[in-house]
Amino acid sequence: MRKSVRIALNQSNLCVGSISSNIDNMKSGILMAQEMQADIVVFPELSITGYAPDDLLLKRNFVRENISAITEIVEFASRKVPVLIFGCVGIDDRRFNGAVVASEGNIISQCGKASLEVKGLFDEKKYFSGISKIDIFEIKNFRFGISIGGDIFKDSVMENEFRENGVGLVIDIASPVYETGILDKPYQDMESLSRRTGMCICQCNNVGGEDELIFTGGSVVIDSNGLLVSSGKVFEEDFLISDLIPKFPYEIKRIPSYEKNKYICEDVIKIDLPEEPKREIYPKIAEMPSGTEEEIILAIKMSIKDYVRKNGFKGVLIGLSGGIDSALVAALCVMAVGRENVLGIMMPSKYSSEGSVKDSEKLAENLGIRTYKTGINEVFEKYLEILGPVFSDFVPGNGKDTTEENIQARIRGNYLMAFSNKLGYLVMNTGNKSECATGYSTLYGDTVGGFAPISDLYKKWVYGISAKINQMEGQDLIPVEIIEKEPSAELSYGQKDSDSLPEYEVLDEILYRLIELDMDVDEVVACGYEEETVKKTNRLLRINEYKRRQEPLGPKISTCKFGIDRIYPITNGYGR
Amino acid sequence: MRKSVRIALNQSNLCVGSISSNIDNMKSGILMAQEMQADIVVFPELSITGYAPDDLLLKRNFVRENISAITEIVEFASRKVPVLIFGCVGIDDRRFNGAVVASEGNIISQCGKASLEVKGLFDEKKYFSGISKIDIFEIKNFRFGISIGGDIFKDSVMENEFRENGVGLVIDIASPVYETGILDKPYQDMESLSRRTGMCICQCNNVGGEDELIFTGGSVVIDSNGLLVSSGKVFEEDFLISDLIPKFPYEIKRIPSYEKNKYICEDVIKIDLPEEPKREIYPKIAEMPSGTEEEIILAIKMSIKDYVRKNGFKGVLIGLSGGIDSALVAALCVMAVGRENVLGIMMPSKYSSEGSVKDSEKLAENLGIRTYKTGINEVFEKYLEILGPVFSDFVPGNGKDTTEENIQARIRGNYLMAFSNKLGYLVMNTGNKSECATGYSTLYGDTVGGFAPISDLYKKWVYGISAKINQMEGQDLIPVEIIEKEPSAELSYGQKDSDSLPEYEVLDEILYRLIELDMDVDEVVACGYEEETVKKTNRLLRINEYKRRQEPLGPKISTCKFGIDRIYPITNGYGR
């Protein structure tokens, strides 16, 4: 038997949510470690899921796939490398930022990160339990300690747990986030830690860009004399092989206090997840909670009033499309800040139906607000004239697509912002939650504005609230023509929302389940919706995170408001 | 002596950060309570600062003003109302979400919220210590308990602390956040709590809109039989006066366990804050940490590559203005994804200097990237033609202002997005941190894009990094003309950044202190900068939070990245 232990550190660039590609990445690392006859192969913090998965961690299926992946990788490593160490999230109700130690196809132990982060983009305390129990295991008569991102620097860990129990080598899995000047720090800190304790230290780090976070890499191997044995590249994947001779046991006198099985985790991960998808446990129709229309109206009214007042705006302006969303926003604004402070802008194009201006005029008359009409045709034609030849150059046989539709929406956005700049009025955004969820909008077009009063209302709620306002007023303040017309973005001839989206009746029910009830796709399907429609809806929800990040804020009305109650990474390979 | 106690609940609509207007609001409440001969006057959670102040809580001056306000309001209430209860943040190193009880001009006790929130927009655990010590005080032979938002529902509080110590009436100060269906909940919960414990319960709630949060109001007064005595309006300010007869002591047998002064808080707020502003403790020039240019280049390079790759884009496109920012972004993109995947778009206007296209062409040649040139003049003229008459109508004698400048920037934004839509390329944003900080940008104009690689680099760092790239390449990859020209947005004739902003040399040093070192204005002035310049810079920093919220994400490079390390509310009256 070798007198030293050979450790392979995989400094991997993982993708959040992309469990299968992360597993592939790990498999090649294991094969490489096998070839190098390593005793232990190590992967970084949360290697299965990628760091940081945010609210993906609240998805039961995501956690389930994480667990299947654990089985798969533990199995794969069996008979290739004696010991496998990697990061993952724990089981259902005991979710932690964990490290698993596996040997010969079995999980021999696991532990969780104790010093959870609160600051920064990933709020670990929201998702994980902190676990103070420390993990120690033995192979080849060496005794090892496991630490997760930062725990190693807690005195209690190194001194009280590891040192007292004769640990000779500590393996830390981590995700150091780059900021200027941080690169040298870990080495120095770790060297002095090793010198102080006499332990070997291996830190295996994540590397790569994930939205705003840059993981540095720069893994470290330090021998028992506190000397740097080797270090990983920064900002690149790397694979480090080191032979280490831990002083073991570190202080033989203290060994008796270590009971062999005390630190073997009793909560071994159960691989087969129990529950079947819930079937029909929720009502088929997910309406707005009944009887809440009036309170929602009052709530939004106050939020508009306070945003305008507390931020010192002179008034508000709204692009009136002839549709229900802008009509409702206009009505709410009048209720909030008074008709004299509300300005409606109509911006028809050649694709606008005859009704869209007429209906907006009627609305404005009912509400008693000033309006202005400024068509976009001429400007739009000019864009086409300038950009058309360029695009034909780039895209042979350039046909019209959503590019041209988006240009129209963006001209309207520009108009509204120009009015806002000129008058000091706040642009009110008119997007609803069904649109935000599916990205049925043009970024910098109809997404412009400072405040988005109905952005947390599903389209069906928009209808309910509008009807309620008319009922409260005892007249059709919002003209019935607007309420009854079929939703359309009017960016091309005869266009209807239902050309691109499922009918709102169905869409909202699916969205409600995916968002408010946080169901997985299979659970929604089990409620009786068409699988294809559910998958499409879920895909739209997933890929439009980037749009929502740049959309204006609006009041929280539902139980699950985007950005407050539901936080997902943009760069996210889950379900791709 | 009355056998009952008269309590006045002020359900106030406060403004975050606007300490002076909040104090005014409280003063009128105190006068009203005085008129009604109330024994106790109560204000909601964090009434001094407003809820939720986010990173304002990390500002020493903000906390100091909060403390001055405490003195002021305690003084004001003296001899008007026997007991004053309100919410505030604690002292320097013992900051908590606190409640103060004052009587006759003295703070007789204070306590802090124990069950801090992690979820949602306001991460209390980031700012506050949880304090499990419970506050009990006595007046008129009644015994009162204080609770802060939610603590009242912890069994340990009501049963073990309050009940065992003979508390007959609990006052809870809170900030219930609206969501559908939540309005009735507090009543029911509180009624059953009262019935179970035999205590009177008064809950005084915040009301009003604050960015995405809507505080409901709906304060509650429940008598010792669990019956609702009165309740505050929802979504409006309100003032409730109630006479209550607490069962006192609740269980006389248990009284002995209560020691009179045990719960009087020993950490009485010290009113005079100690430290003078730090003077010159930091180097006068706040350069980029020296020697980090190369690591920053590698870090950004990786972040671009990973964002593009992990999100599946075909390539990237960049608006080339002839300035240093877009030149650096183009160079970094070439390093990250290869020249064949980078496209430069030149969009000159009549205000563009001759050099701006020529220099961009030279840059593109050096980098070996494809470019396209598409002027914006004709489209711009068309906007003016359409909007000009409208504006003259609205604004008599309409003169040109930033409205027209912004239109140009937004046309460019539209062009870039059209290219992106047509080609499936990712638009790279070219804004730097000095611009993000001061809002020197056009929202939906030069702020467009999916990724903002240099958004965490101060302008001076942009120069440093550009020089380093040239040095590393052994040639002027970024043409020296671009590095040496004076920064300009070129949105009007002869325009220079320094017309609107302090010179970057000074601006960056001030920003560095305000942001990275988190200094208050007076501290920066004490470092030797002109007061007026510091104040102007700080004001720009403060009022442009709304822009930053809608800007694309970019990699964290500095120690204090907007949105990760520094989180402020948009609606924020502090320092207005």
pLDDT value at position B406? 96
Contacts of A254 (CB under 8 A, 6+ apart): A163, A164, A165, A166
Low-confidence ranges of chain A (pLDDT < 70): 1-2, 91-94, 118-121, 131-134, 155, 159, 186, 248-289, 576
Per-residue pLDDT tens over the stretch B359-414: 999 999 999 999 999 999 999 999 999 999 989 887 777 778 899 999 999 999 99
B141 to chain A, closest Cα gap in Å: 41
Cross-chain residue pair B570–A181, CB shorter than 8 Å: no
Cross-chain residue pair B553–A418, CB shorter than 8 Å: no
Cross-chain residue pair A118–B118, CB shorter than 8 Å: yes
Which of the two residues, B521 and B134, has the higher pLDDT score? Answer: B521
pLDDT value at position A340? 98
Task: Name the helix (H) or strand (E) containing B192.
Answer: helix B185-197
B449 to chain A, closest Cα gap in Å: 10
Cross-chain residue pair B556–A390, CB shorter than 8 Å: no
Q: Which residues of B touch A444 (CB under 8 A)?
A: 410, 413-414, 417, 444, 448
Q: Is the per-residue pLDDT at B271 higher than 80?
A: no
Rounded to the nearest integer, the mean pLDDT of chain B is 87
Q: Cα separations (Å) of B7 from A54, A68, A229, B190, B242? A: 44, 59, 70, 17, 5
Q: Is the per-residue pLDDT at B235 higher than 70?
A: yes
Cross-chain residue pair A178–B372, CB shorter than 8 Å: no
Return d(Cα A369, Cα A378) in angstroms, integer: 27
On whether the CB atoms of residues B511 and B524 are closer than 8 A, the answer is no
Cross-chain residue pair B214–A299, CB shorter than 8 Å: yes
pLDDT value at position A218? 94
Return d(Cα B376, Cα B355) in angstroms, integer: 17
Cross-chain residue pair A296–B180, CB shorter than 8 Å: yes
Q: Which residues of B touch A314 (CB under 8 A)?
A: none
Q: Is the per-residue pLDDT at B289 higher than 80?
A: no
Amino acid, single-letter form, for residue B66 = N
Q: Which residues of A touch B210 (CB under 8 A)?
A: 306, 310
What DSSP string describes A73-138? HHHHHTTT-SEEEEEEEEETTEEEEEEEEEETTEEEEEEE-SS---SSS--HHHH-------EEEE
pLDDT value at position B249? 58
Q: Which two tokens stand for residue A187?
A: 């080495």
Q: What is the ipTM of this complex?
A: 0.90
Contacts of A271 (CB under 8 A, 6+ apart): A67, A68, A70, A71
Q: Closest CB to B391: pick one of A15, A422, A559.
A: A422
Contacts of A458 (CB under 8 A, 6+ apart): A288, A432, A433, A434, A508, A511, A512, A558
Backbone angles phi, psi at A244, to 5 degrees: -125, 145
**pLDDT-based confidence at residue B116 (cuts at 50, 70, 90):** confident
On whether the CB atoms of residues B250 and B201 are closer than 8 A, the answer is no
Count of Cβ atoms closer than 10 Å to residue B296 Cβ: 25
pLDDT value at position B215? 94
Q: Closest CB to A299: pick one of B235, B289, B410.
A: B235
Strands A316-319 and A169-174: unpaired
Per-residue pLDDT tens over the stretch A71-118: 999 999 999 999 999 999 875 456 789 999 999 999 888 788 888 876
pLDDT value at position A136? 81
On whether the CB atoms of residues B502 and B529 are closer than 8 A, the answer is no
SS3 B561: coil
Amino acid, single-letter form, for residue B506 = V
Spell out where A104-226 has E strands.
106-112, 135-139, 142-148, 169-174, 200-205, 207-210, 213-216, 220-222
Give the nearest chain B residue to A313 (CA atoms): B571
β-strand partners of A147: A172
Mean pLDDT computed over B146-166: 79
Q: Which residue has the tokens 């069950």?
A: B115
Q: Which residues of B touch A120 (CB under 8 A)?
A: 564-565
B272 to chain A, closest Cα gap in Å: 30
A252 to chain B, closest Cα gap in Å: 41
Q: Which residues of A touch B415 (CB under 8 A)?
A: 387
Q: Which residues of B touch A372 (CB under 8 A)?
A: 390, 394
Return d(Cα A213, Cα B553) in angstroms, integer: 10
On whether the CB atoms of residues A1 and A142 are closer than 8 A, the answer is no
Backbone angles phi, psi at A248, to 5 degrees: -140, 140
Lowest average pLDDT, out of A333-337, B111-115, B508-512, goes to: B111-115
Nearest in space to B93 (alpha carbons), one of B49, B51, B63, B125: B63
On whether the CB atoms of residues A481 and A324 are closer than 8 A, the answer is no
How many percent of chain B have pLDDT more than 90?
A: 65
pLDDT value at position B134? 62
Q: A interface mutation test: which of B317, B414, B559 has the most A CBs within 10 A? A: B414
Cross-chain residue pair A570–B311, CB shorter than 8 Å: yes
Nearest in space to B158 (alpha carbons), one of B131, B197, B132: B197
Return d(Cα B460, Cα A537) in angstroms, integer: 45
Q: Which two tokens stand for residue A118?
A: 């609160």
Cross-chain residue pair A180–B296, CB shorter than 8 Å: yes
Cross-chain residue pair A118–B119, CB shorter than 8 Å: no
Mean pLDDT computed over B200-217: 94
Contacts of B218 (CB under 8 A, 6+ apart): B11, B176, B183, B186, B205, B207, B231, B232, B233, B234
- The answer, yes or no, to whether the previous bond of A299 is cis (omega within 30 of 0) is no
β-strand partners of B173: B148, B204
Return d(Cα A214, Cα B555) in angstroms, integer: 7
Return d(Cα B13, Cα B210) in angstroms, integer: 10
Cross-chain residue pair A556–B298, CB shorter than 8 Å: no
Mean pLDDT computed over B321-337: 97
Q: Closest CB to B386: pick one of A379, A395, A546.
A: A379
Strands in B238-244's sheet, in edge-to-edge order, are B106-112, B94-103, B83-91, B40-42, B5-11, B238-244
Q: Which two tokens stand for residue B518?
A: 């988190």
Count of Cβ atoms closer than 10 Å to residue A15 Cβ: 24
What DSSP string describes B22-54? HHHHHHHHHHHHHHTT-SEEE--TTTTT-S--G
pLDDT value at position A216? 94
On whether the CB atoms of residues A421 and B444 are closer than 8 A, the answer is no
On whether the CB atoms of residues A202 and B314 are closer than 8 A, the answer is no
pLDDT value at position B141? 75
pLDDT value at position B270? 33
Per-residue pLDDT tens over the stretch B469-508: 999 999 999 999 999 999 999 999 889 999 999 999 999 9
Q: Closest CB to B564: pick one of A118, A120, A564.
A: A120
Contacts of A193 (CB under 8 A, 6+ apart): A152, A153, A158, A199, A201
Q: Cα separations (Å) of A420 from A345, A371, A423, B498, B515? A: 11, 14, 5, 25, 29
Q: Which residues of B touch A379 (CB under 8 A)?
A: 379, 382-383, 386
Q: Is the per-residue pLDDT at B121 higher than 70?
A: no
Lowest average pLDDT, out of A532-536, B293-297, B571-575, goes to: B571-575
On whether the CB atoms of residues B444 and A451 are closer than 8 A, the answer is no
Contacts of B254 (CB under 8 A, 6+ apart): B163, B164, B165, B166
β-strand partners of B318: B344
A295 to chain B, closest Cα gap in Å: 8
Return d(Cα B338, Cα B327) in angstroms, integer: 15
Cross-chain residue pair B418–A403, CB shorter than 8 Å: yes
Return d(Cα B146, Cα B157) in angstroms, integer: 10
Amino acid, single-letter form, for residue A561 = K
On whether the CB atoms of residues A171 and A145 are closer than 8 A, the answer is yes
On whether the CB atoms of residues A457 and A344 are closer than 8 A, the answer is no
SS3 B412: helix
Q: Closest CB to A118: pick one of B126, B305, B418.
A: B126
pLDDT value at position B133? 60
**pLDDT-based confidence at residue B64 (cuts at 50, 70, 90):** confident
Q: Closest CB to B120: pick one of A125, A213, A564.
A: A564
Task: Name the helix (H) or strand (E) containing B76.
Answer: helix B60-77
pLDDT value at position B538? 95
